[in-house]
């Protein structure tokens, strides 16, 4: 668990650790960040909004510098890793908890593992086997989840894979295979696996499908040099699709919501168990908003969140404006300010009431 500001750099990128953001001279690459951009980039790269002490140093600085600062750090890889485990549905009772698995983000940050190695490990964990029991389910899942294949259209290959899983000597996806581990390896190392991974990662980041030609180029490069993932990621962060994504905003996943709520209200990350039990409950509802609001209410009412008393807010307009900026990443409109400040002066209104209105609003569900 990494709590606090992000760690120094990954040697893979060849970037220097840096405490202060650098300004990139090329004007096209300098994208001064609004607080909303800063929140979005932080949530996309680290799975959490910025801590309070990260706001001031970075607002108005270039997005590229910020991305460079975060990319490849251990915090970045921890987020990446939890996203991958979620993709493979290794959550809840199936969450792998061995030391070996916990060290994957550290090894990725140190450049001792590539993304392909890391993905390979997932299918070799005992919980993956438990999650996907039996030849039919196991082989189907690795073909679908790793290679993006539709097994109904690849019935023969599925049967071959099942035969290898059962210990027979075969050629599965063009390579020799005679056991479960071979089935996994052949899938992980197959070109289609890199293409599928690249496409789903691009979508995870931008919310859009990649252009076909770009996808071919990216996945070809990544297949040859799986260490180059962070370089590719940096390229995506500079793309117009990412610019568009910032304007469009994206829905927060339940995991992201749980982490964002903690950081926004308590300026700390939840523990992994806190995150997971919150996420698990939120995942249990088709529309998680009622529970999200409930969680916001719980934390606000718990008196653990440092919310100032009414009498300690000398200028409510200023305070409301700051909450809009901090939680929604934008300025409040004049109408919104008026509504909130009028409410503030009513006896039944607590500062928590105003915060609850923002946190339970649809806009806070996106970033």
**Residue among 285, 286, 331, 319 nearest 59 (CA):** 331
- Contact between 239 and another protein by CB under 8 A: the answer reads no
The Cα–Cα gap between 189 and 286 comes to 36
Binder of another protein out of 283, 313, 321, 326 (CB under 8 A): 283
- Contact between 28 and another protein by CB under 8 A: the answer reads no
- Contact between 287 and another protein by CB under 8 A: the answer reads yes
- Contact between 247 and another protein by CB under 8 A: the answer reads no
Q: How far is CA 285 from CA 33, 256, 347, in A?
A: 34, 16, 35
Interacting stretch for another protein, rule CB under 8 A, among 8-16, 206-214, 222-230, 300-308?
300-308
Binder of another protein out of 71, 123, 299, 359 (CB under 8 A): 299
Of 93 and 240, CB closest to another protein: 93
The Cα–Cα gap between 222 and 200 comes to 14
- Contact between 59 and another protein by CB under 8 A: the answer reads no
- Contact between 135 and another protein by CB under 8 A: the answer reads yes
Of 50 and 329, CB closest to another protein: 329
- Contact between 367 and another protein by CB under 8 A: the answer reads no
Q: How far is the CB of 251 from another protein (least distance, A)?
A: 11
Q: Where are the alpha helices (DSSP H) in 225-267?
A: 229-237, 240-248, 254-266
Q: How far is the CB of 320 from another protein (least distance, A)?
A: 10
Q: Greatest CA separation found in the chain?
A: 77
Of 51 and 87, CB closest to another protein: 87
- Contact between 157 and another protein by CB under 8 A: the answer reads no
Binder of another protein out of 23, 209, 216, 285 (CB under 8 A): 285
- 172 pairs with which residues across the strands? 175
Length of the chain: 367
Q: Where are the alpha helices (DSSP H) in 88-134?
A: 99-102, 104-109, 115-124, 126-131
Q: For strand 170-172 and strand 175-177, is the pairing parallel, antiparallel, or unpaired?
A: antiparallel
Ramachandran bin of 272, using left for φ above 0, alpha for ψ from -120 to 50, beta for the remaining angles: alpha
Residue 59 φ/ψ, nearest 5 degrees: -60, 130
- Contact between 298 and another protein by CB under 8 A: the answer reads yes
Of 297 and 326, CB closest to another protein: 297
Q: Are 68 and 234 in contact (CB under 8 A)?
A: yes
Residues making contact with another protein (CB under 8 A):
86-89, 91-92, 132-137, 140-141, 144-145, 150-153, 162, 273-274, 276-278, 280-281, 283-287, 289-291, 293-294, 297-299, 301-302, 304, 335-336, 338-340, 343, 346-350, 353-354, 356-358, 360-363
């Amino acid at each position: 668990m990494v709590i606090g500001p992000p760690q120094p750099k990954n040697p893979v990128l060849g970037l220097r650790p840096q405490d202060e953001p650098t300004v990139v001279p090329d004007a096209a690459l300098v994208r001064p960040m609004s607080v909303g951009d800063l929140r979005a980039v932080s949530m996309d790269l680290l799975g959490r909004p910025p801590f309070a002490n990260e706001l001031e140093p970075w607002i108005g600085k270039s997005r590229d510098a910020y991305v460079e600062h975060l990319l490849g750090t251990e915090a970045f890889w921890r987020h990446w890793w939890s996203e991958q485990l979620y993709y493979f549905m290794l959550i809840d009772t199936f969450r792998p908890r061995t030391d070996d698995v916990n060290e994957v983000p550290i090894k990725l940050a140190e450049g001792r593992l590539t993304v392909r190695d890391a993905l390979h490990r997932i299918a070799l964990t005992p919980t993956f086997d438990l999650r996907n029991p039996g030849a039919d389910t196991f082989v189907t899942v690795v073909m679908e989840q790793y290679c993006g294949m539709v097994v109904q259209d690849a019935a023969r290959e599925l049967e071959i894979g099942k035969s290898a899983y059962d210990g027979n000597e075969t050629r599965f996806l063009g390579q020799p295979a005679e056991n479960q581990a071979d089935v996994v390896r052949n899938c992980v190392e197959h070109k289609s696996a890199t293409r599928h991974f690249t496409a789903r990662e691009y979508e995870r980041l931008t919310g859009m499908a990649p252009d076909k030609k770009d996808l071919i180029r990216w996945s070809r490069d990544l297949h040859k040099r799986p260490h180059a993932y962070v370089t590719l990621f940096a390229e995506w962060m500079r793309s117009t699709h990412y610019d568009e994504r910032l304007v469009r905003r994206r829905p927060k996943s339940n995991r992201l919501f749980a982490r964002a709520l903690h950081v926004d209200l308590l300026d700390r990350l939840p523990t992994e168990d806190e995150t997971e039990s919150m996420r698990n409950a939120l995942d249990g509802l088709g529309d998680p908003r009622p529970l999200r609001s409930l969680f916001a209410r719980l934390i606000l009412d718990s008196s653990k969140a440092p919310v100032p008393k009414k009498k300690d807010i000398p200028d409510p307009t200023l305070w409301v404006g700051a909450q809009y900026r901090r939680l929604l990443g934008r300025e409040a409109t004049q109408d919104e300010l008026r509504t909130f400040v009028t409410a503030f002066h009513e006896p039944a209104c607590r500062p928590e009431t105003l915060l609850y209105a923002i946190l339970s609003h649809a806009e806070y569900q996106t970033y």
